[in-house]
Chains A and B, each alone.
Chain A
Amino acid sequence: MKVGLFIPCYVDQFYPKVGIATFELLQKLGCDVDFPMKQTCCGQPMANSGYQHLTKGCDANFITNFADFDYIVCPSGSCVMHVKEHLHSDTNEEEATRLRANVYELTEFITDILKVKSIEGDFPFKVGMHQSCHGQRGLKLSQMSELNAPFFSKPEQLLHNIKGLALVSLTRKDECCGFGGTFCVTEEAISVKMGQDRIKDHEKYQVDYITGGDMSCLMHLEGILRRQNSPIKIIHIAEILNSI
């Protein structure tokens, strides 16, 4: 099974550790993983700002880079969702369609394709899980509080066998953190307020770490935490799952 590693542009630049953890984890789980060097960005920042028509270059680049793989795996729900819903091609729609169907967020790939039920690890900390909206409501990685349906959570399921990890249950289970792509600068006041409130929910349960599947949300929360000189740290779920 050939897996193409898709690392979002800002993760590549600012959070290489997340990319490394994802890469190592997939290897441990027996995948033949490669990182196509010429990948850039999925185009989501433009598309969500209303400039979807400018993403053709990104789309074409994405298709060229990942054409050789059975699956594409990415440690970011929102980028995956963007590709799943909006990747198209004027010249090779067939390949675009195949890629749309075979792109996966990391935890859903592990649970749904690799059929791994839990992962051994060691992370002796109190952890709060920030469910990013695009992963949760977009890709349906876990049940949403608004719907009348039974509980499930792909990322949480994977955390169960991590030694020492105590996962807290937040008051507002799936409230948005306010990152929202360019929203975080165009609607700065609300964005920051939402992030602060999200952090307060975690503080209430005295967590050591906030984790999640989307580095963009975590980057926003980290920015606020550091400005507040908070002892709470952020960590991407891939890093916890790759802890041993």
Chain B
Amino acid sequence: MKNNISHSEAAEIFNKDVERVNWHDETLWFVREKRDRSAHQIPEWELLRETASQIKLNVLSNIHDYLVEFEANAQKNGIIVHWAANAEEHNVIVHSILEKHNVKQMVKSKSMLTEECHLNDYLTERGIDVIDSDLGERIVQLRKEPPSHIVLPAIHLKKEDVSETFYEHLGTEKGNIDPQYLTESARHHLRDIFLTRKAALTGVNFAVAETGEFVVCTNEGNADMGAHLADVHIACMGFEKLIPQRKHLGVFLRLLARSATGQPITTFSSHFKKPREGKEIHIVIVDNGRSVQLGREDFRNSLKCIRCGACMNTCPVYRRSGGHSYHNAVAGPIGSILAPNLDMKKNADLPFASTLCGSCTNVCPVKIDIHDQLYKWRQVLVQEGYTPKVKTIAMKTMATVLANPMVFDIAGKTGRFAMKNLSGLVNNKLNKWYDQREMPEVPEESFREWYKKNGKATKRKNDE
């Protein structure tokens, strides 16, 4: 991604357009409320979350065995299994499969992993035409933007933006913002693509170790259409997508759609087990930093993520800063935990882009302790030296003053220390508190001054 500016800078720019921010916030809040309604209809909701969390913990603790089991079963079914240690290897593997079949055009659906690996750019540079087939993904692809949300990739755009994009790229009527019309037009355009592409790439929502099959959940049915019409189906998955047995699917399918959009279940939950006669299915199992994260005790839980996006919809910061401000394939609270694992320096700002309100942790269907992990990342990033020097100096001063009652007393008296220090935290001549907020009024005396004079007297009065 070409984004070099920090989350707070990007968020500030995003916030210049108040109407857009309000719209973004309200749209996502609407989804969060839908999620609440459908989750609250299920009496055993919290038990489901706990069960899902336990299943995933089991998977993470025995990942080696499950991967070996999955590979053996998938191969028995006639699926070709590949292993990729990192993004580069993943891209090379996908490219080599396409080359082998002399494929120059590929349809793609539902894969944030390929975003993480920057597959589109890689293939395009090698002369392969990649078409994202999900409506939202297609829209951002036409605009040459990354998705801003893992489930709702074009949520940062209004229908006016979409209309403009389609007018430019698909030749639709200028200014026609009727969603029905726009969707129809996209459908027609994509249908032709489906019919002519020989290879299709999809993501994987769940891979079942016991049976060697995998499940892809979609609302538009594009993954199926792509995969069914093509001769070669390539499925790419991070290794954490495994679940032990088929029976566990019931738990996850019930949680996934409700958490994501408030639907009881996604429109299509497609099972892929073996290739049809004369066709091929490939699975690329990707590590790309996951085993490192697995080894970090404080952060391994983040690999339980089933990519429902609920933490983004509920996050008050995400809702007001937009997905692109996170400059990472996966945005929002979970992205802020995954991103520093991939590149600590580049993503050091992300764990700080949160108030630690904890709403993410509460909505997460697999009970990832998201806000606690954000707190822990902050500690790691400071220790590793990825915070601005001025902040470190301010913090050290603050720590000294606050640890010393006498200095604190004097500092308080002479300058109402706390607030001064708070605003001095950023390396900025402007007082960032005062920009859009008034400072608190300074009272005649501090509480401790009052207490010195009145504390004992009040106590006596009450005892009488």
Contacts and interface: CB of A to CB of B under 8 A. Distances in A.
A20 B393 CA distance: 34
A186 B426 contact: yes
A91 interface: no
Interface string A45-66: 1111111111111101100000
Interface string B178-218: 00000000000000000000000000000000000000000
A194 B379 contact: no
Contacts of A197: 25, 320
A10 interface: yes
Contacts of B445: 16
Contact of A190 (B11, B404, B458): B11
B395 A54 contact: yes
Given A10-B419, A12-B448, A193 B46 contact: no
B355 A223 contact: no
Given A37-B452, A57-B400, A223-B440, A183 B354 contact: yes
B378 A50 contact: yes
B442 to A, nearest CB: 7
Contact of A192 (B383, B437, B458): B437
Interface residues of A, number: 82
Contacts of B316: 175-176, 178, 194
Given A9-B408, A13-B418, A14-B418, A185 B423 contact: yes
A17 to B, nearest CB: 8
B135 interface: no
Contact of A223 (B317, B381, B437): B437
A2 interface: no
Contacts of B422: 45, 182, 184-185
Contacts of B396: 54
A224 B437 CA distance: 5
A213 to B, nearest CB: 15
Contacts of B352: 49-50, 183, 186-187
Nearest to B325: A190
Contacts of B462: 27-28
Contact of B355 (A23, A145, A180): A180
A9 B445 CA distance: 13
Contact of B440 (A15, A54, A149): A15
B379 A53 contact: yes
Contacts of B391: 49
B362 A137 contact: yes
B282 to A, nearest CB: 39
B142 to A, nearest CB: 29
Contacts of B459: 27, 33
B241 interface: no
Contacts of B449: 16
A145 B36 contact: yes
A90 interface: no
Interface string B451-464: 11001001100100
A13 B416 contact: yes
Interface stretch (B37-45, B66-74, B330-338): B37-45
A179 interface: yes
A155 interface: no
Contacts of B122: none
A240 interface: no
A15 B447 CA distance: 7
Contact of B447 (A7, A43, A144, A148): A7
B402 A58 contact: yes
Interface in B392-407: 392, 395-396, 398-405
B357 A187 contact: no
A224 B433 CA distance: 10
Nearest to A132: B357
Interface string A1-36: 000000101111111111110011001100001110
B359 A35 contact: no
B451 A37 contact: yes
Contact of A41 (B43, B379, B402, B441): B402
Contacts of B353: 187, 190
30 contacts: A7-B447, A11-B447, A12-B412, A27-B458, A40-B403, A40-B408, A41-B408, A46-B399, A48-B375, A50-B378, A51-B399, A53-B379, A54-B399, A57-B404, A133-B357, A137-B357, A137-B361, A175-B316, A176-B359, A178-B317, A179-B355, A183-B355, A186-B426, A186-B432, A188-B436, A190-B8, A190-B15, A191-B355, A192-B437, A223-B438
Interface of B: 7-8, 11-12, 15, 21, 25, 29, 36, 39-40, 42-43, 45-46, 314, 316-317, 320-321, 352-359, 361-363, 375, 378-379, 381-383, 387, 391-392, 395-396, 398-405, 408, 412, 416-419, 422-423, 425-426, 432-433, 435-443, 445-452, 455, 458-459, 462
Interface of A: 7, 9-20, 23-24, 27-28, 33-35, 37-41, 43, 45-58, 60-61, 133-134, 137-138, 144-149, 172, 174-176, 178-195, 197, 219-220, 222-224, 226-227
